[in-house]
């Protein structure tokens, strides 16, 4: 993400960078969690309560 020069080396810049890094970490975690469920056959396990967890 490109931050305008107006905000370089300011608290706003630090905040934007921190929030962007946090959002990226969340996205990476969600991708990892999603990959754990790819092998589950939903049609076979549709009645399982563990699919919803």
Q: List, for residues 1-46, the tens digit of each pLDDT value.
A: 677 787 788 898 899 889 999 999 999 988 888 777 777 666 666 6
Angle at 53 between CA 45 and CA 18, to 5 degrees: 135
Q: 26 lies in a domain?
A: yes
pLDDT at 22: 93
pLDDT at 48: 61
Q: 52 lies in a domain?
A: no
Eight-class DSSP state of 3: P
Q: 3: which residues sit within 8 A by CB, 6+ positions away?
A: 13, 16, 17
Q: 25 lies in a domain?
A: yes
Q: 14 lies in a domain?
A: yes
pLDDT at 4: 77
Q: 51 lies in a domain?
A: no
Per the structure, how many domains does the chain have?
1
Q: 53 lies in a domain?
A: no
Q: 22: which residues sit within 8 A by CB, 6+ positions away?
A: none
pLDDT at 18: 92
Phi, psi of 38 (to 5 degrees): -65, -35
pLDDT at 44: 66
Q: Which domain holds residue 15?
A: 5-46
């Amino acid at each position: 993400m490109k931050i305008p020069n107006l905000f370089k080396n300011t608290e706003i810049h630090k905040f934007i960078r921190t929030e962007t890094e946090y959002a990226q970490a969340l996205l990476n975690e969600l991708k990892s969690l999603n990959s754990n469920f790819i092998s589950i056959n939903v049609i076979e396990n549709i009645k399982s309560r563990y699919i919803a967890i």
